[in-house]
Chains A and B, each alone.
Chain A
Amino acid sequence: MYDFSPFIDSINSFFTSNFSPFWASVLLMLLLGIAILAFYAVLGLYLVYAERKICARMQNRIGPNRVGPLGLFQTIADLIKLLLKELIYIRNADGFLFNIAPFIVIVASIMAIGSIPFAKGLQAIDLNIGVLYILAISSMGVIGVLIAGWASNSKYSVIGAMRSGAQVISYELSVGLSLLCMIVFAGSMQLSDIITSQQDGWWLLKGHIPAFIAFVIYLIAGTAETNRGPFDLAEAESELTAGFHTEYSGIKFAFFFLAEYMNMFIIAAVATTIFLGGWLPFHIYNFTAFNNVMDYIPPVFWFFGKTAFIIYVMMWFKWTFPRLRIDQLLALEWKYLLPLNLLNLVLISFLTLMKWHF
């Protein structure tokens, strides 16, 4: 019903019929780039707003409420302020590396957004290695963080970057393994195939307890990979001022800030796609009337609804749990999550082999 592919095809044929193939592809790339950038900026701003509101609610405050109705324009005002701020040049920093670090972080997260399916046909590129691509691209972001810490030539920054590096490298394993579990179920790495395989039920519901374990591990490891609380000891403000981005100001700081929120969105969107059926509506087996009503809700709403739920859970983590120490953090990953994950993978392979999942 709500299929976007005719719409996308009509845009595509408009460009290919009116321009030469070379210019058509250049213009399409530009159009897509602008669309993704605009989406990135608007969503990033409203994630910051959501976080401030949710944090306020959990601490029994009101949160932003002065700029616009319900404070909706607060983050836009903040962005304008950040754009006008001076970019401070640090004399003893490595200028070249200092300047490219925010771009590496933000490019990695923009590229990952390109392969996320928002609705049927609404996906910039559907690679046949979709999940692997997202993992590979998001592993580039940590390089930006490490460079930022080192190039700032400040002790806070270097310690923050080291912590962040150690954390991201270790938790990447858990993210990868828990996604691998679900790839074993779905039998494909292509994101559109994974979604079609969930037409008769989401993997979280079809895959018994092992799928649920993989989901919980993915949420924990995903939160850790975005450097968010309770795993935010890379920028622990009470000990390290702001960690790896202590020395950054103005729009470069905003890049790191925005990238953190968008990485959270990417983690949530991947969880939605792989565990919760992506843009597919919620169906109950043999309950046709209910299923038909659910089908009337457009897939974009389903996708963003599920993603928003997971983002809410991740914000809930941040504002309720105390921060971990570095040794607790590494012990949690290497002593508990990793062995559990490997065991889970074997269990899931066995389930799939015996065809015991629904």
Chain B
Amino acid sequence: MTGPKIIFYILAFSTILFSLLSVFDRRILRAAIYLLFVLVAIAGLFYMMNFQFLAAVQLMLYAGGIVVLIIFSILLTSQINSKLDAPKLMQLLAASFTALFGIGISLYTILPYVFKPSAAPTLEVNMRNIGLQLLNTGEQGYVLPFEVISILLLAALVGIIFIAKRSRT
């Protein structure tokens, strides 16, 4: 067993464990914190694959942004003693059936696949290249999706301001 392998198994195991805990815990803030641990572990996996930029973005956007937003909304809306209600039997059955079905399909597609180690040399992911690629109009440039997403976000922002302003009067 080598060092990276041990770290990989720790990360992979904690990803699975905390995902399960996050789904099964009925105290909502704890579920959010378990989700945070899952996201941090996945950032660790990215880091192990030398995608430092992706790991940092994962930490910043998902752990530092989205989880903070989730925690914030929990802080505003719920109390420390409140627990989610236990689901009804029918819901429980339907949900577990759907989950098992999903697991089945995933395993059916993943298990027969033969994973081969990549022979390509490890890429040095350069910030400059990422930036140029993102704003490139030429071949494999991402400027159109980039701009479309910015307009979408702008529209969402304007919409939020409109709703917030109207409800005050």
- CB B48 to nearest CB in A, in angstroms, measures 14
Which residues of A have CB within 8 Å of B164?
none
Q: Given A22-B2, A94-B29, are A139 and B64 neighbors across the interface (CB < 8 Å)?
A: yes
- CB A322 to nearest CB in B, in angstroms, measures 28
Q: Per DSSP, are chain A's interface residues mostly helix, strand or loop, or mixed?
A: helix
Contact with A along B38-73 (1 / 0, CB 8 A): 001000000000001100110110011101100110
- Point out residues on A near B: beta carbons under 8 Å: 21-22, 25-26, 92-94, 96-97, 100, 127-129, 132-133, 135-137, 139-140, 142-143, 146-147, 149-151, 153, 158, 161-162, 165, 169, 187-189
Which residues of A have CB within 8 Å of B92?
none
Q: Per DSSP, are chain B's interface residues mostly helix, strand or loop, or mixed?
A: helix
Taking a contact as CB atoms under 8 Å apart, the answer to whether B60 and A188 are in contact is no
Is B134 part of the binding interface, using a Cβ–Cβ cutoff of 8 Å?
no
Q: Given A137-B59, A150-B29, A189-B127, are A132 and B36 neighbors across the interface (CB < 8 Å)?
A: no
Taking a contact as CB atoms under 8 Å apart, the answer to whether A146 and B72 are in contact is yes
- CB B99 to nearest CB in A, in angstroms, measures 26
Q: Given A97-B29, A150-B80, are A129 and B53 neighbors across the interface (CB < 8 Å)?
A: yes
Q: List 29 A-B pairs, Cβ < 8 Å.
A: A21-B2, A94-B27, A94-B30, A94-B80, A97-B29, A100-B33, A127-B52, A129-B53, A132-B56, A133-B52, A133-B56, A136-B59, A136-B63, A137-B59, A139-B65, A140-B40, A140-B59, A143-B36, A143-B63, A143-B68, A143-B71, A146-B71, A146-B72, A146-B75, A150-B29, A150-B74, A165-B71, A165-B72, A187-B128
Which residues of A have CB within 8 Å of B81?
92
Question: Quick one: which of A22, A92, A128, A158 contacts B75, CB cutoff 8 A?
Answer: A158
Taking a contact as CB atoms under 8 Å apart, the answer to whether B27 and A25 are in contact is no
- Point out residues on B near A: beta carbons under 8 Å: 2-3, 27, 29-30, 33, 36, 40, 52-53, 56-57, 59-60, 63-65, 67-68, 71-72, 74-76, 80-81, 125-128
Taking a contact as CB atoms under 8 Å apart, the answer to whether A143 and B72 are in contact is no
- CB B128 to nearest CB in A, in angstroms, measures 8
Taking a contact as CB atoms under 8 Å apart, the answer to whether A162 and B75 are in contact is yes
Which residues of A have CB within 8 Å of B126?
128
Taking a contact as CB atoms under 8 Å apart, the answer to whether A135 and B80 are in contact is no
- CB B29 to nearest CB in A, in angstroms, measures 6
Q: Given A92-B80, A97-B30, A158-B75, are A136 and B56 neighbors across the interface (CB < 8 Å)?
A: yes
Taking a contact as CB atoms under 8 Å apart, the answer to whether A153 and B80 are in contact is yes
Which residues of B have CB within 8 Å of A169?
68
Nearest chain A residue, comparing its CB with the CB of B40: A140
Q: Bound complex: CA of A100 vs CA of B80, how far in Å?
A: 16
Which residues of A have CB within 8 Å of B128?
187
